A and B are shown apart, each in its own frame.
Chain A
Amino acid sequence: VFPALQDLLQRPVPGSVLVGVAAALLLTLLLLGLEVRRRRRVDRAVRMARGQLRTVTATMREGVIAYDLDRRFSFANPAFERLTGYPSEDLRDQEFLQYIHPDDRPALLAEWERLQRGEPLRDQEYRVVTRGRQVRWSSGSWEPLRDPAGRQIGYLGTEFDITERKLAEEAMRLDTELFQAIIEVQRSVGAAGLDSATVMRVIAEQSVRLTGAGGAVIETMQGDGFAPRVRVGAEVPASTGSVLSVPLQDEQQTLGLLKVMSAQANAFTDRDTKAVRLLGGLMGAALGHAAAFEARQSRLEERTRALQESEQRFKQLVDAAQEGIWVADDRGMITYVNQRMAEMLGYQNGALLGRAVYDFLDPGSRTGAQRALGRAGGAGDSHDLRFRRKDGSEVWGLVSASPILGRGGALVGTVGMVTDITERKRAEERLRRSAERLAVLHDLDQAILAARSPAEVGRAALGRMRRMVPCERCSVVLFDFSRREAQLIAGYAGGLALGATAMPLDQFAPVEVLRRGGVRYQENIATVEEPSPQLRQLLDEGMRSVLTVPLVVEGEPIGEVSLASASASAFDAEHRDIALEIATPLAIAIRHAGLRDELGRRTAELERRVAEQGAALRGATVELETLLYAISHDLRAPLRQIGGFAQLLLEDAQAHPDAAAHQYARRITRGTARLASLVDDLMHLAALGRQDLLRREIDLGTLVEDVVSRLEPDAAGRAVEWRIEELPTVDCDATLAREAVTQLLANALKFTRPRERAVITIRTATAEGQTGIAVQDNGVGFRTGHASKLFGIFQRLHRTDEFEGNGVGLALVQRIALRHGGRVWAESEPDVGATFYLTFGSPAGARRSERTP
């Protein structure tokens, strides 16, 4: 803001430019004036334009005036006011000529006529009569003012006060010496500048010299009377000598008196009078200029003061601001910083001036800074930038920068505002880190859940750890206190994985220290007096600081995690916390992985044993079945022979039916018949195990109906009600299923024999996702406690003389069920009935069970 202001104040503005601007403004003004119908609006516009014209021409040394075709003033600037001594309000709408010396009016009128005829313009010199009835010379030049249609609507003139020059010219006419004196005086006055005291002294001295007087006095108005200001030469009493006195006047008033005095009477000639009058005139002009200058100077000082005050207020405001504020020039060099900004960066205010804002930014933030501070970054955009303080620490700032534009839109600088958001950033960073820490812990939990080896878990944890704790080298080591050995299971050095190695435990630290399981932190190994072999090795590898956290499970240290950095004091409390956070679940994960390994080994061992035993069992079963088969097979022939010969014996003894031999033969025949059926069933049972299953979809409904019809002869002469409900289709071996169903139905038929009316219900049974049939009867039943005995070979719950049978039937059913992967079981209540259930298993289950029959 300031440079722009200062720039504006200091930059010289060529008068011609201003005249051009003034002409344009005035043209607008007059054009607007012609719009009669929109008068009120125009008046307002005229007043505005006038105000602008006034502003533009206010500081010009030339008088600027405008008048219409009737030569009535429409505008006069302050310089013209000074020239004539009239305020512009008095000039408004007055005829221009009345301010012109009567002798000069004809020439002017003639000139105007020339102008009106469109002839080229000539500068005119004429005398202006001031308000104080003084005559001043002016050099005027005019241009016609035209509307857009080209019609002349008035004149725009500039007036330059040439009184001094005219006086000089007059003096030259009088006397070359006088002229030269005047020139000299002028030069002296010029050299004296606008210091009125010096001017007065010069004038007084020259007056004495030119007139040969004894002395001179200049008196100026003080209050109501004149008081001497400057005195030169001897003081001469007024009564004896002669005094030549001329008034010192500017345009408006008498400023004082110039007196030259001589001791002799009539000492001054006419030439002297003229010289003194000339000097007085010069002086008046000079004093007038000086006064005007001083007035302007004082106005300028006032304005500067006001500006300084406002600047001061601004500075106070800016200095008190909570935001850091800087102002930079168009090259980005700092021209101003407030107190807060300096504090923020840790410098004295002055140390920042003349340096680029970029110098104080963290390299990582430079790209962002270019966006924020570049021209493209409009006001309102804010960017988070990281600054580097003098002490090297960092400060986060929310930066918004706005360009300062000079006239024409050129960039003259930047003003930036910085809010310290370091705390917020730190909080965000803490949040991000804690989120990351959580994520890592979650990862580790996942690793714990996943079946992983200790080495895998260790590598995973170190990977996470390195993301959050910067280190050049890290490792996970497990302790084996009993073997006094440490095993490195995972590690990285300079981004490369370390191979698994074992080393003596005391290389790390005394075993007692390791057993305590605390955190160890060496800020700088180089300063450790007696470093352990491990520390020495790390030192050789270029490491300086080492952070070691224990891996503890249930209070027992099982190992440790080491982080090493090439710089000393690389780790802080947060790093330690992170390491500890990771170490805790890591320890558990490693322990779990170890246990899982162990479990895996034991399970494998167990499985191996089971497999061995299973194989042995299968071998034994096969052997047993083979044996059973062989026995039953080899029993057949002798059994048939015994039965055969007994039969033949019986036939031979038919003549003597009462003979004891006949009776014996009958018993032998009966016994062998029973034994034969038993052997047959046993062989059948044995054959089941040797036979392949032919599974397919079998409709149990059809099968049951078929079996029932085949059993009809057995039920002959009995009242048997078969209730066959809707039955499922199951995947099974048709032959075996028929066998099993036949056994169950035959059983039901057999044990309902004592009932007057047998009711046998066959329905669907489901259990454990398997389907099959249930056969319910209202027979003699059995106690449920005996159910487990039912399915064993040769197990019988009834006496042979009650119900025939050899105890193989249900064993056969069970064998068939098991071969299918199914199941058979029974429920019963004595004298009420029994229900037998049979399922055939699922194909998959059957396949599994077939492997281990």
Chain B
Amino acid sequence: MTEAPPAAIDVLLVEDDPDEVELTLPLLREVAADCRVEVARDGEEALDLLLGRGAHRDRIGTPPPRLVLLDLKLPRLDGLEVLRALRASPRVGGVPVVILTSSGDPRELAQCYHLGANSCVSKPIGFEEFRSTIRALGRYWLEVNAVPGAPVGARAATR
């Protein structure tokens, strides 16, 4: 992985809780079995990955992911800061970002949209509801939604 130039990724999951990552990844795979998911454990790492900085400098020419799933509560740099910095980038600033939040705080939601979030999703507390939410997200953003450089329904074809 370090030898070869890094491949493009489909989804960047920004989540510091490994258990949450452990629960989310299988659910994403249920929608798109072969999609490439990268996980960033904090805000700094997420920005490094997206902007091709620091340890991920080699990614500078790599196309941005089709979707960023961004938690708001993150170590080092919180989700809103990540969103702001991301949107400020001329190269990758247009990447679709879905905010995953635990609260329904209207002020927080408004702020997210103001900073350029494409969608905000409240993570349900029950596992079954969570599962259906993740499925719906994957189905929409990876199959329905079109992004530059990849044909619509590309993933559906691979399935």
Interface residues of A (CB under 8 A from B): 629, 633-634, 636-641, 643-648, 669, 672-673, 676, 679-680, 683, 687, 690-691
Interface residues of B (CB under 8 A from A): 17, 19-20, 23, 26, 102-106, 123-128, 130
Contacting pair A633 B20 (CB below 8 A): no
Q: List 30 A-B contacts (CB under 8 A).
A: A629-B103, A633-B102, A636-B102, A636-B123, A636-B125, A637-B20, A637-B102, A637-B123, A639-B125, A640-B123, A640-B124, A640-B130, A641-B19, A641-B20, A643-B125, A643-B126, A644-B127, A644-B130, A645-B19, A645-B23, A646-B127, A647-B127, A648-B23, A669-B127, A673-B126, A676-B126, A683-B104, A687-B105, A690-B105, A691-B106
Q: List 12 extra interface pairs beyond A641-B23, A690-B105, CB under 8 A.
A: A634-B102, A636-B102, A637-B17, A637-B102, A640-B123, A640-B126, A640-B127, A641-B19, A645-B19, A648-B26, A672-B126, A680-B125
CA distance A690 to B127 in the complex (A): 28
Which listed residue, A644, A669, A673, A683, touches B23 by the CB 8 Å rule?
A: A644
B128 CB contacts on chain A under 8 angstroms: 647
- Name the residue on B nearest A638 (C-beta): B19
A641 CB contacts on chain B under 8 angstroms: 17, 19-20, 23
Top 7 closest A-B pairs, CB basis? A644-B127, A676-B125, A643-B127, A644-B23, A641-B19, A647-B127, A636-B102
A640 CB contacts on chain B under 8 angstroms: 23, 123-127, 130
- Name the residue on B nearest A673 (C-beta): B126
CA distance A824 to B147 in the complex (A): 54
- Name the residue on B nearest A645 (C-beta): B23
CA distance A313 to B91 in the complex (A): 143
A683 CB contacts on chain B under 8 angstroms: 103-104
- Name the residue on B nearest A629 (C-beta): B103
Name the distance in Å between B69's Cβ and chain A's nearest Cβ. Answer: 14
CA distance A291 to B126 in the complex (A): 163
A629 CB contacts on chain B under 8 angstroms: 103
B19 CB contacts on chain A under 8 angstroms: 638, 641, 645
A680 CB contacts on chain B under 8 angstroms: 125
CA distance A739 to B125 in the complex (A): 20
Residue in A629, A644, A672 with the greatest tally of chain B CB atoms within 10 Å: A644
A648 CB contacts on chain B under 8 angstroms: 23, 26
B26 CB contacts on chain A under 8 angstroms: 648
Name the distance in Å between B24's Cβ and chain A's nearest Cβ. Answer: 9
B105 CB contacts on chain A under 8 angstroms: 687, 690
B102 CB contacts on chain A under 8 angstroms: 633-634, 636-637
Name the distance in Å between A638's Cβ and chain B's nearest Cβ. Answer: 8
Residue in A637, A638, A647, A683 with the greatest tally of chain B CB atoms within 10 Å: A637
Residue in B20, B105, B127, B130 with the greatest tally of chain A CB atoms within 10 Å: B127
CA distance A452 to B19 in the complex (A): 73
- Name the residue on A nearest B107 (C-beta): A690
B130 CB contacts on chain A under 8 angstroms: 640, 644
CA distance A647 to B102 in the complex (A): 20
B126 CB contacts on chain A under 8 angstroms: 640, 643, 672-673, 676
Residue in B20, B23, B106, B125 with the greatest tally of chain A CB atoms within 10 Å: B125
Q: A640-B123, A640-B127 are in contact. Are A687 and B104 (CB under 8 A)?
A: yes
- Name the residue on A nearest B124 (C-beta): A640
Name the distance in Å between B112's Cβ and chain A's nearest Cβ. Answer: 16
Contacting pair A633 B123 (CB below 8 A): no
CA distance A647 to B124 in the complex (A): 15
CA distance A638 to B18 in the complex (A): 11
B104 CB contacts on chain A under 8 angstroms: 683, 687
- Name the residue on B nearest A690 (C-beta): B105
Name the distance in Å between B109's Cβ and chain A's nearest Cβ. Answer: 12
A690 CB contacts on chain B under 8 angstroms: 105
Name the distance in Å between B134's Cβ and chain A's nearest Cβ. Answer: 11
Name the distance in Å between A681's Cβ and chain B's nearest Cβ. Answer: 11
Name the distance in Å between A654's Cβ and chain B's nearest Cβ. Answer: 15
CA distance A493 to B106 in the complex (A): 72
B103 CB contacts on chain A under 8 angstroms: 629, 633, 683
CA distance A641 to B27 in the complex (A): 13
Residue in B26, B102, B105, B128 with the greatest tally of chain A CB atoms within 10 Å: B102
Contacting pair B23 A679 (CB below 8 A): no
A691 CB contacts on chain B under 8 angstroms: 106
CA distance A648 to B106 in the complex (A): 33
B123 CB contacts on chain A under 8 angstroms: 636-637, 640
Name the distance in Å between B44's Cβ and chain A's nearest Cβ. Answer: 21
- Name the residue on A nearest B125 (C-beta): A676
CA distance A680 to B124 in the complex (A): 9
CA distance A636 to B104 in the complex (A): 12
CA distance A645 to B128 in the complex (A): 11
A687 CB contacts on chain B under 8 angstroms: 104-105
- Name the residue on B nearest A634 (C-beta): B102
- Name the residue on B nearest A680 (C-beta): B125
A669 CB contacts on chain B under 8 angstroms: 127
Name the distance in Å between B75's Cβ and chain A's nearest Cβ. Answer: 15
CA distance A644 to B26 in the complex (A): 11
A645 CB contacts on chain B under 8 angstroms: 19, 23
CA distance A669 to B128 in the complex (A): 10
CA distance A647 to B26 in the complex (A): 13
B124 CB contacts on chain A under 8 angstroms: 640
B125 CB contacts on chain A under 8 angstroms: 636, 639-640, 643, 676, 679-680
CA distance A636 to B123 in the complex (A): 9
Name the distance in Å between B103's Cβ and chain A's nearest Cβ. Answer: 5
- Name the residue on A nearest B130 (C-beta): A640
Name the distance in Å between B25's Cβ and chain A's nearest Cβ. Answer: 12
B20 CB contacts on chain A under 8 angstroms: 637, 641
CA distance A396 to B40 in the complex (A): 116
Name the distance in Å between A634's Cβ and chain B's nearest Cβ. Answer: 8
CA distance A648 to B30 in the complex (A): 13
Name the distance in Å between A625's Cβ and chain B's nearest Cβ. Answer: 12
- Name the residue on A nearest B101 (C-beta): A633
- Name the residue on A nearest B71 (C-beta): A637
CA distance A638 to B104 in the complex (A): 17
Name the distance in Å between A525's Cβ and chain B's nearest Cβ. Answer: 81
CA distance A643 to B127 in the complex (A): 6
Name the distance in Å between B36's Cβ and chain A's nearest Cβ. Answer: 23
CA distance A62 to B17 in the complex (A): 163
A639 CB contacts on chain B under 8 angstroms: 125
CA distance A640 to B15 in the complex (A): 15
CA distance A675 to B138 in the complex (A): 28
Name the distance in Å between B156's Cβ and chain A's nearest Cβ. Answer: 26
Name the distance in Å between B61's Cβ and chain A's nearest Cβ. Answer: 36
CA distance A450 to B11 in the complex (A): 78
Residue in B17, B23, B104 with the greatest tally of chain A CB atoms within 10 Å: B23
Name the distance in Å between A373's Cβ and chain B's nearest Cβ. Answer: 97
CA distance A673 to B17 in the complex (A): 21
- Name the residue on A nearest B128 (C-beta): A647
CA distance A359 to B126 in the complex (A): 118
Name the distance in Å between A468's Cβ and chain B's nearest Cβ. Answer: 72
Name the distance in Å between B121's Cβ and chain A's nearest Cβ. Answer: 13
CA distance A157 to B130 in the complex (A): 160
- Name the residue on A nearest B103 (C-beta): A633
CA distance A683 to B124 in the complex (A): 13
Name the distance in Å between B106's Cβ and chain A's nearest Cβ. Answer: 8
CA distance A641 to B102 in the complex (A): 13
Name the distance in Å between A398's Cβ and chain B's nearest Cβ. Answer: 92
Name the distance in Å between A669's Cβ and chain B's nearest Cβ. Answer: 8
Residue in B20, B23, B126 with the greatest tally of chain A CB atoms within 10 Å: B126
Name the distance in Å between B17's Cβ and chain A's nearest Cβ. Answer: 6
CA distance A404 to B104 in the complex (A): 113
CA distance A673 to B124 in the complex (A): 11
Name the distance in Å between A666's Cβ and chain B's nearest Cβ. Answer: 13
A638 CB contacts on chain B under 8 angstroms: 19
CA distance A534 to B111 in the complex (A): 79
A634 CB contacts on chain B under 8 angstroms: 102
CA distance A687 to B125 in the complex (A): 16
B106 CB contacts on chain A under 8 angstroms: 691
Residue in A639, A640, A643 with the greatest tally of chain B CB atoms within 10 Å: A640
